[in-house]
Amino acid sequence: MGGTILFKHNFHRPRPCLEPDLLFQARLLIDQCSGGSSFISNHAANHFGMATFFFITFRSVLRKWAWIGFLWAGLIAYAQVYVGIHYPLDVVAGAVFGMTIGLLTGKLFNKRYGFVIFDNQLKA
């Protein structure tokens, strides 16, 4: 939602699947293209935001598995470009925006609440 309000309503960049110049140059893998603007990718922002938040809050518990959310987010972002919904810059900007929000909310969450039960288990 933040990406829509801050970016999409201000940039009005058309999606690649709606660009008349690209219709004959690109192979689109979707039957219909959703309306709206392309910049930034809210899918990338949401998934990278969640991945960052979970990484910040659960990395001490999940250890090496904490990175799996970024793999998932990367696959989602790649799929958006692959099917012709977004340009690569749209998903990169969405990822940066999402990671920023995830970092801020993760740090705020840890500072305010944290997971005391996890901290006690790790010290034992």
- The 3-class SS string of the chain reads CHHHHHHHHHHCCECHHHCCCCCCCCCCCCCCCCCCECCCCHHHHHHHHHHHHHHHHHHHHHHHHHHHHHHHHHHHHHHHHHCCCCCHHHHHHHHHHHHHHHHHHHHHHHHHCCCHHHHHHHHC
Q: What band does 121 get if pLDDT is binned at 50, 70 and 90? A: very low
Which single residue is written with the structure tokens 């929000």?
101
pLDDT tens digit sequence for 87-101: 899 999 999 999 999
pLDDT tens digit sequence for 52-74: 999 998 887 888 888 999 999 99
Does residue 120 register a pLDDT over 50? no
Residue with the bigger pLDDT between 63 and 119: it is 63
pLDDT tens digit sequence for 10-26: 667 777 777 777 666 66
